[in-house]
Amino acid sequence: MRTYGPLLLTLLSLGSAAQAACDREQAFNRMMALNQFGMKLQAELPDPLEDPAGYRANYERVQAFGTELSSGGQLLASGRYDEACALYDRLSRAYAVDEAAQAVQPLSAYEQPATPTTGCDLAEAALRAAWLNEAFQKHAAERSLDRQAWVKFGNETEPLGLAMQQDPQRACELIDEVAGRYGLKR
DSSP summary character for residue 117: S
What is the domain partition of the chain in residue ranges? 21-182
Question: What residues of the chain score a pLDDT lower than 70?
Answer: 1-20, 110-118
Give the span between the Cα atoms of 161 and 34, in whole angstroms: 10
Contacts 24+ apart (CB under 8 A), 92-101: 92/30, 92/33, 92/34, 95/37, 95/41, 95/65, 97/33, 97/34, 97/37, 99/29, 99/30, 99/33, 99/34, 99/37, 100/33
Looking at residue 155, the DSSP 8-state letter turns out to be H
Residue 62: per-residue pLDDT: 86
Measured CA to CA, the distance from residue 147 to residue 168 in angstroms comes to 29
Q: What is the pLDDT of residues 144-180, one digit of tens each?
A: 888 888 888 888 988 887 788 788 889 899 999 999 9
pLDDT of res. 8: 33
Q: Sign of the C-alpha dihedral, residues 146, 149, 155, 161?
A: negative
Q: What pLDDT is attached to residue 112?
A: 56
Q: How many residues does the chain have?
A: 186
